[in-house]
Amino acid sequence: MTHDLLAIMPELMLIVTAVVVLLVDPLLPEEGRRGLSWLGIFACITAALSTWFARGEEFTAFSNSIALDKYSVFFKILLLGVAALAMLISEKHLHKKQRLLGDYYALILFTTVGMIVMAEAIDLITFFVGLELMALSSYLLAGFFRYEERSIEAAMKYFLTGAFASNILLFGMAFLYGLTGSTNYRDISEAIRLGPVPEGPLVIAIVLVLAGFAFKVSAAPFHNWAPDVYQGSPTPAAAFLSVGPKVAGFAAILKFFTMILGSQSEIWVPLMMALSVATMVVGSTMALVQKDLKRMLAFSSIGHVGYLLLAVVATGDSGSNVGMSAILFYLAAYAFMNMGAFAVLVHLSNNSENFRDSLDEIAGLGKRFPWAAGVMALFMLSLTGVPPTAGFLAKFYLFSAVVDAGFAWLAVVGALFSLVSAFFYLRVIVYMYMREPEESVSEKVDGRSWDLSLGIGLAAAGVVLLGILPAPVLNAAQDAVQKLLGN
């Protein structure tokens, strides 16, 4: 029993902290609430450290329902980092909108626990619990500004589409259970491989699962919720939501489709290819026609998912590790650059009278907010994939893996849409430095937040460091995926 509890020590830390935050929050005066974010960050750092120091051992816990190995270590640390960063950047914004409540931090912590469970689960039931924990907390985060129409609309849309998709995924998982008699990933994998398993229901199960996951990571044509949700959510929450669930989602996708369904790759690889291409098309082209920056970033995220799905295709077809480690590296790079971009928007929102998140607002930003503009340019360049940023290496490794697996033409398609995406990323830079501010631009107010600046700085540092010193993270990624295939 204790062994099991020790295994989930990081999660327990987060849960306890979240509960403490919830209980203590009503008792604190306004200023006191500011410390809550640091409590949460402290919990995340402690959890990450404890994960790091325990990384040597590999074992399963709770009767084979979660696995603690290098894979889960990688994702735990990444997710905890994302969560800490999310808490770091939100305090001032919440304060400005008069919604500075401890609940926010508790929700982030709960979401993170859910995401971690998703990544480390090797049992369908446990996975579903993690999935729902993440999802439910996310819905509330999206609607946190409950006196604003957009936020509530975002929450409702997220909830309805999310619940619908979770059900589809659950039904698929039920079928998998029914076909194989077990809910453990390895057992299911064995059963499917050895067979015989009736093909019809298996295909239905695979399609259901694929569709459910596609929703969670906003792949086309299951992406429609994402732009509205990211646009309507409070900006710091959008930062978190655009990154965390995707990371956890892909952690689970990799496990599902290589561990469990690895032997059935002829079934799902073509389907995923279609999804990938559709996602890239939607992500790149629709971002072109957006005027709202949060919406544009949402479609940009969709585009990145398209590239990631390409690598999943490459992995599934060739059975090699290279694509998988590229995915993990890409997720890490993506986390930094996407959160960074949103964080800059938070900064601008804090420091403006009435920031409308639109392209017009950032015209001439180079003059008005030189540092913000500079670091935003860095994030845009990284998202485009310009060396020597993290985004470049991430795309490079990913496309190399795709080519290595024999899908050269897919890589070409990917590169093409990457090129298209350059337009809307670079458009931001053009607006910032080569346009004059319009009269309708919001007034500057003083909304300085050291936490937020620290957060932006960390994200920028991450983008630069991963671009020139990728080795540590890349090696960690390669170690992490060693055991996945052939299981």
Partner 1 sequence: MKAAVLLIPLLPLASFIITGLFGKRFFKEKSHYLSVGAVAVSWLLSMYLIVEVERGEELHWQVYSWIAAGSFKVDIGFLVDQLTAVMLLVVSTVGLMVHVYSIGYMKGDGGYYRFFAYLNLFMFSMFMLILGNNFLMLYVFWEAVGLCSYLLISFWYTKKSAANAGTKAFLVNRVGDFGFGLGIMLIFVTLGTLSYSGVFEAAGTIGTGTMTAICLLLFMGAMGKSAQFPLHVWLPDAMEGPTPVSSLIHAATMVNAGVYMVARSNPLFAESHTAMFVVALVGTFTAIFAASIGLVQNDIKKVLAYSTVSQLGYMFMALGVGAWGAGMFHLIAHGFFKGLLFLCSGSVIHALSGEQDMRKMGGLKNKTKITYWTFVIGALAISGFPGLAGFWSKDSILAGSFNHGYWYFWAVGLIVAFMTAFYMFRLIFMTFHGKPRDEKAFAHAHESPRSMTMPLILLAIPSALIGLALGLPPEDGHIDKFLEPVFEAAGIAPHAFGAVDLGLMALSALVGIGGILLAWQFYVKRPDDLPAKAGARAGFLYKAALNKYWIDEFYFAAVINPVMALGRGLWRWVDMAMIDGFVNGSARFFHGVGMALKPTQSGKIQAYLFSMFLGFLALLVAYLILTV
Partner 2 sequence: MTPLQQYLALSMALFFIGAWGVLARRNLILVVMCVELMLNAINIALVAFSNYSPTGAGRGEVFVFFVFALAAAEAAIGLAIAIAMYRLKEKLSVDDLDEMKG
Q: Pick one of partner 1, partner 2, none as the site partner of residue 420 (Cβ within 5 to 8 A by kind).
A: partner 1
CB-nearer residue toward partner 2: 289 or 430: 289
Q: Pick one of partner 1, partner 2, none as the site partner of residue 53 (Cβ within 5 to 8 A by kind).
A: none
CB-nearer residue toward partner 1: 116 or 226: 226
Please compute Rg for the chain using Cα positions: 21
In the complex, the smallest distance separating the C-beta of residue 251 from partner 2, rounded to whole angstroms, is 20
In the complex, the smallest distance separating the C-beta of residue 296 from partner 2, rounded to whole angstroms, is 11
In terms of phi and psi (left: phi > 0; alpha: psi -120 to 50; beta: otherwise), the region of 486 is left
In the complex, the smallest distance separating the C-beta of residue 300 from partner 2, rounded to whole angstroms, is 16
Q: Which two tokens stand for residue 161?
A: 């589409």
Q: Pick one of partner 2, partner 1, none as the site partner of residue 170 (Cβ within 5 to 8 A by kind).
A: partner 2
- Which amino acid, residue 100? L
CB-nearer residue toward partner 1: 215 or 256: 215
DSSP 353: S
For residue 156, how many other CB atoms are within 10 A of its CB? 16
Residue 60's SS3 state is strand
In the complex, the smallest distance separating the C-beta of residue 31 from partner 2, rounded to whole angstroms, is 27
State the Cα–Cα distance between residues 39 and 26, nearest whole angstrom. Answer: 16
CB-nearer residue toward partner 2: 166 or 276: 166
Answer whether 262's CB lies under 8 Å from 316's CB: yes
| Secondary structure element (H or E) that encloses residue 282, with its range | helix 265-288
Q: Which of 255, 35, 241, 283 is nearest to 139 (CA)?
A: 241
**Interacting residues with partner 1 (CB under 8 A):** 156-157, 160-161, 164-165, 168, 203-204, 207-208, 210-211, 214-215, 220-222, 224-225, 227-228, 267, 270-271, 274-275, 281-282, 284-289, 396, 400, 404, 420, 423, 468-469, 471
Q: Pick one of partner 2, partner 1, none as the site partner of residue 139 (Cβ within 5 to 8 A by kind).
A: partner 2
In the complex, the smallest distance separating the C-beta of residue 469 from partner 2, rounded to whole angstroms, is 40
Is 27 exposed, middle or buried, given 0-12, 13-18 or 19+ CB atoms closer than 10 A? exposed
**Interacting residues with partner 2 (CB under 8 A):** 124-125, 128-129, 132, 136, 139-140, 143, 146-147, 149-150, 152-157, 159-160, 163-164, 167, 170-171, 174-175, 177-178, 180-183, 227-228, 231-232, 289-290, 295
State the Cα–Cα distance between residues 186 and 142, nearest whole angstrom. Answer: 35
In the complex, the smallest distance separating the C-beta of residue 295 from partner 2, rounded to whole angstroms, is 8
Q: Pick one of partner 2, partner 1, none as the site partner of residue 132 (Cβ within 5 to 8 A by kind).
A: partner 2
Could you give phi then psi for residue 174, rounded to 5 degrees? -60, -45
Answer whether 162's CB lies under 8 Å from 295's CB: no
Query: Which residues, in sequence order, are CB contacts of 478 under 8 Å at separation 6+?
Result: 321, 325
CB-nearer residue toward partner 2: 152 or 203: 152
CB-nearer residue toward partner 2: 52 or 423: 423
CB-nearer residue toward partner 2: 154 or 452: 154
Q: Name 292's bridge partners.
A: 358
CB-nearer residue toward partner 2: 126 or 352: 126
Q: Pick one of partner 1, partner 2, none as the site partner of residue 143 (Cβ within 5 to 8 A by kind).
A: partner 2
Q: Pick one of partner 1, partner 2, none as the site partner of residue 19 (Cβ within 5 to 8 A by kind).
A: none
Answer whether 258's CB lies under 8 Å from 324's CB: yes
Query: Which residues, in sequence order, are CB contacts of 477 under 8 Å at separation 6+?
Result: 74, 324, 325, 326, 328, 329, 332
